[in-house]
Amino acid sequence: MSKKNENPYNEKSNYGKLFAIWRKAQVTTRAKLLEAAKGLGMNDTAANATVTVLISPRASEDVCRGKDCLGNISAQGHIYFAEVLNQKSGEEKRFRLRYREVVLAPKTRNAKEETKAVKVAKAVKVAKAEVAEVAEVAEVADVADVVVD
């Protein structure tokens, strides 16, 4: 097997194990992947989340209607994508595993948003500390008045 089409996930992780099953089958449905995930010992929630991440990358923005085609941030969508195959009426959606001819830049979190979130969290923490300090000073003043009287 060529290195180009290797499993992009850690082979011991849930993503890696399930991706290996999908890679072997090549074409599968969401239900089959969920069944395989549960067979690996995952509960319903973990299985659903894992399958959702794996099948989230798409071929291009055209398919994604202008959204990011790389899928979930945990997905290795810059390496592979899930091609949605034509389905007959009443048939479940099928997904074919495809590797990108040209590997894209990996999806990353926006540093500005992270920084803003950290700053907001720190500001809230400081505000709470100030309120607690004011309350403590007021309590000490009340105790002092009682001792003086």
Residue with token string 């959606």: 93
Phi, psi at residue 121, to the nearest 5°?
Answer: -60, -40
Q: How far apart are CA 55 and CA 96, in angstroms?
A: 9
Q: Would you write out the chain's pLDDT as a tens digit for each of its 149 residues?
A: 456 678 888 889 898 999 999 999 989 999 999 999 999 999 999 999 999 888 888 887 555 555 667 777 677 877 888 888 888 888 899 999 988 888 777 777 766 655 666 666 777 777 777 777 766 766 655 555 555 55
Residue with token string 């290797």: 6
DSSP at 5: G
pLDDT of 77 reads: 77
Residue in 17, 8, 19, 10 with CA at minimum distance from that of residue 40 = 17
pLDDT of 76 reads: 81
Residues with Cβ within 8 Å of 54's Cβ and at least 6 positions away in sequence, in order, are 15, 18, 19, 22, 33, 75, 82
pLDDT of 113 reads: 59
Domain-wise residue ranges, the chain: 3-99, 109-149
- The type of residue at 94 is R
Phi, psi at residue 80, to the nearest 5°?
Answer: -135, 170
pLDDT of 140 reads: 59
Residue in 45, 1, 51 with CA at minimum distance from that of residue 22 = 51
Which two tokens mark 137?
């000073």
Q: What is the dihedral of CA 6, 8, 13, 15, to 10 degrees?
A: -110
pLDDT of 32 reads: 94
Which two tokens mark 13?
């992780």
Contact 123, 114 (CB under 8 A): no
